């Protein structure tokens, strides 16, 4: 079977599953197992519409009956905040998020999390929940042989917490926190002026920066993210295609896009998979990566997402190793760690792709 003449769907899945993978854009709060949610709710008396995992599904996961809707997608996170009801619950969901990534042949993961989402409803401190996530992720990375780094996420709707979250992230760089992210409803909260000093300080203290931009908002949000906040990567960036100037900015500054096709379809950002710009961006020379965004909410794995990219969007299978290598090159690592990671993936992808793609 040649790489240009694979036949059944299961052969394609096997090829893609066996590729060693990198994921740069995965939210902890969007990575909870349904069964775990039910168990946590039962054990901690969480007030829910139902305790049955299947009946709970439409409240926390995109289902077939859901209309594509950006704000409807974000609303599922509100209910999920009820589940971080104890130290044990937070640690369990963090551990399982890493374990599930490793089970999908992901060897390097950057997991982003919002301490406010994990702490606020229960009155925990942001620093405590951050330490719990770090502890659980460290254990899971050893148990499942996966390299993990953490990104602290600031919600656009909760900018008042940005200084404290940034100070925590900066202070815990020696414990695996490598970056700062800005996410949330950019349609309503697109102005980042009030966050400029916080992000500039974070960069001066050694953190990398990624920003959700031009997912549902205008292309100019990318310009603000790069020029005002110092973003080295952009989450989504789907709307960049509407501006030649923004496309030029991404190419000139070699800004990597963390793209999530299934999420973009479910939020209504793209109407059809074949309209997704990820392959076009690649052809234009913009470094693109493929990610799950929220694997439990979207009900996907990274293997699924790469299959979607080939079968639904039309990216040739032979290009996937280059896309994975893009992610390794864009990892939030300093030298010599970055070179080590890239060299490992270059060798492993070459060996694995040849072995799994050819008779």
Task: List CB contacts of 302: < 8 A, sequence separation 6 or more.
Answer: 21, 23, 101, 104, 106, 290, 291, 292, 295
Predicted confidence (pLDDT) at residue 78 exceeds the cutoff of 80: no
CB of 91 closer than 8 Å to CB of 311: no
Nearest to 152 by CA among 177, 131, 172: 177
98, pLDDT greater than 50: yes
**Is 90 exceeded by the pLDDT of residue 213?**
yes
Q: Which residues lie across from 110 on neighbouring strands? A: 149
SS (H, E, C) the chain: CCCCCCCCHHHHHHHHHHCCEEEEEEEHHHCCCHHHHHHHHHHHCCCCCCCCHHHHHHHHCCCCCCCCCHHHHHHHHHHHHHHCCCHHHHHHHHHHHHHHHHHCCEEEEEEEECHHHHHHHHCCCHHHHHHHHHHHHHHHHHHHCCEEEEEEEEECCCHHHHHHHHHHHHHCHHHCEEEEEEECCCCCCCCCHHHHHHHHHHHHCCCEEEEEECCCCCCHHHHHHHHCCCCCEEEECHHHHHCHHHHHHHHHCCCEEEECHHHHHHCCCCCCHHHCCHHHHHHCCCCEEECCECHHHHCCCHHHHHHHHHHHCCCCHHHHHHHHHHHHHCCCCCCCHHHHHHHHHHHHHHHHHHHHHCC
**Using one digit for the tens of pLDDT, what is the confidence trace for 291-301?**
999 999 898 99
Lowest mean pLDDT among 46-60, 91-105, 280-294, 298-312: 46-60
Instruction: Report yes or no on whether pTM surpasses 0.95.
Output: no
- For 307, the token pair is 């299959």
Rounded mean pLDDT, 70-94: 83
**Is the pLDDT reported for residue 6 higher than 50?**
no
For CA atoms 15, 18, 20, 24, give the dihedral sign. positive
Does position 122 have pLDDT exceeding 60, yes or no? yes
Q: Torsions phi, psi of 271, nearest 5?
A: -80, -35
Predicted confidence at residue 358, as pLDDT, reads 41
Q: Which of 133, 155, 121, 26 is nearest to 88 (CA)?
A: 133
What the block records as the tokens of 340 is 């080590």
Digit-coded pLDDT (tens) for 125-147:
999 999 999 999 999 999 999 99
Establish how many alpha carbons lie within 13 A of residue 7's alpha carbon, considering only the half-sphere containing its beta carbon: 2
Active-site residue list: 215
* Residues whose CB is less than 8 angstroms from the CB of residue 42 and which lie 6 or more positions away in sequence, other chains included: 51
> What's residue 283's pLDDT?
97
User: Is pLDDT above 80 for 7?
Assistant: no
Domains and CATH numbers, the chain: 9-357 (3.20.20.140)
pLDDT score for 237: 98
For residue 184, how many C-alpha atoms fall within 13 Å in the half-sphere facing its CB? 19
Task: Give the span between the Cα atoms of 353 and 12, in whole angstroms.
Answer: 12
Q: Give dist(CA 201, CA 182) in Å, integer.
A: 15
Give the pLDDT band of residue 121 (cuts 50, 70, 90).
Answer: confident
**274-321 tens-digit pLDDT:** 999 999 999 999 999 999 999 998 989 999 999 999 999 999 999 999
Cα–Cα distance between 142 and 124 in angstroms, integer? 27
Q: How far apart are CA 112 and CA 293, in angstroms?
A: 10
């Amino acid at each position: 079977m040649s790489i240009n003449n694979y036949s059944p769907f299961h052969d394609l899945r096997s090829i893609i599953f066996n590729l060693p993978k990198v994921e740069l854009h995965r939210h902890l709060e969007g990575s909870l197992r349904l069964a775990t949610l039910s168990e946590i709710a039962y054990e901690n008396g969480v007030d829910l519409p139902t305790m049955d995992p299947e009946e709970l599904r439409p409240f926390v996961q995109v289902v077939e009956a859901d209309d594509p809707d950006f704000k409807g997608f974000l609303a599922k996170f509100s209910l999920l905040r009820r589940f971080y009801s104890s130290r044990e619950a937070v640690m369990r969901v963090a551990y399982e998020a890493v374990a599930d990534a490793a089970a999908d042949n992901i060897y390097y993961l950057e997991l982003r999390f919002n301490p406010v989402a994990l702490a606020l409803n229960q009155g925990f401190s942001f620093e405590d929940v951050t330490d719990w996530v770090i502890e659980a992720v460290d254990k899971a990375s050893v148990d499942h042989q996966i390299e993990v780094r953490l990104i602290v996420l600031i919600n656009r709707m909760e900018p008042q917490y940005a200084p404290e979250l940034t100070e925590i992230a900066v202070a815990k760089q020696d414990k695996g926190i490598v970056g700062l992210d800005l996410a949330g409803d950019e349609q309503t909260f697109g102005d980042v002026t009030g966050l400029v000093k916080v992000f500039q300080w974070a960069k001066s203290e050694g953190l990398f920066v990624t920003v959700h931009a031009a997912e549902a908002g205008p292309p100019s949000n990318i310009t603000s993210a790069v020029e005002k906040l110092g973003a080295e990567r952009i989450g989504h960036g789907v709307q960049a295609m509407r501006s030649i100037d923004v496309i030029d900015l991404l190419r000139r500054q070699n800004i990597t896009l963390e793209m999530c096709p299934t999420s973009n379809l479910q939020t209504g950002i793209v109407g059809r998979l074949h309209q997704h710009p990820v392959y076009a961006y690649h052809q234009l020379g913009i470094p693109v990566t493929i990610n799950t965004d929220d694997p439990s909410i979207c009900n996907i794995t990274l293997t699924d997402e790469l299959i979607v990219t080939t079968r639904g969007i039309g990216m040739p299978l032979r290009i996937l190793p280059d896309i994975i290598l893009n992610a390794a090159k864009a990892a939030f690592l300093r030298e010599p760690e970055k070179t080590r990671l890239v060299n490992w993936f270059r060798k492993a992808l070459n060996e694995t792709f040849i072995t799994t793609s050819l008779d």
